[in-house]
Amino acid sequence: MFRCGIAYPRCRWIVPLLLLFAIIFDIIAIAATSGWVEDEDAKSDYASMWERCRGKEKWTCTSLMEFSWAQAVAALMIIGLLILIVAFIISCVALCCTLNMTLLPLIAILLIIVVILQVIALIIYPVKFNEMIFEGNYYYTWAYGFGWGATILCIGCAVLFCCLPRYEDELTGLAKTKYIYSSA
């Protein structure tokens, strides 16, 4: 016998876990010193969210925090991370401790704010960085990708937190399981 159904009570644990992954991805993106951008050869130039380093054997690093756009990117990413941490704590309280459905729309709103802040930051950085340099080809690295990964996870979780209040009985386990597929 094989039955396939949606186990809604698992969402109570999976969604906060996804938010935890988004927090980890954000921390990796913000703290990465190996760079968000590197040149085509990956040997002479790279830049993180905080500084740009150039050289072959002897590296010279300059802070990007002299530029207002870099300060804005750092501020938006850090504020987004802080709001994401608050949303994670509220989601643990709302879903893991007790089932508090009234907090779910608040978490969705917080996640939408995080998405807006981080999308702005992740768009400002490449635009302004490309304006700052004029030579060579540059690639955006895994650290920049982790920033986008956290943002995409937040979009998905915001949608889930918007939809979950409709399934209160399923989340509590009071509703009968609806099977998508059942073989005889």
- Domain at 7-182: CATH code: 1.20.140.150
Select the more confidently predicted residue: 138 or 180: 138
CA distance 51 to 53: 7
**Residue ranges of the domains in the chain?**
7-182
| Residues 43-93: tens digit of each pLDDT | 677 788 888 888 777 878 888 889 898 899 999 999 999 999 999 999 999
More confident residue, 184 or 124: 124
Supply the pTM of this predicted model: 0.83
Of the chain, the percentage scoring pLDDT greater than 90 comes to 38
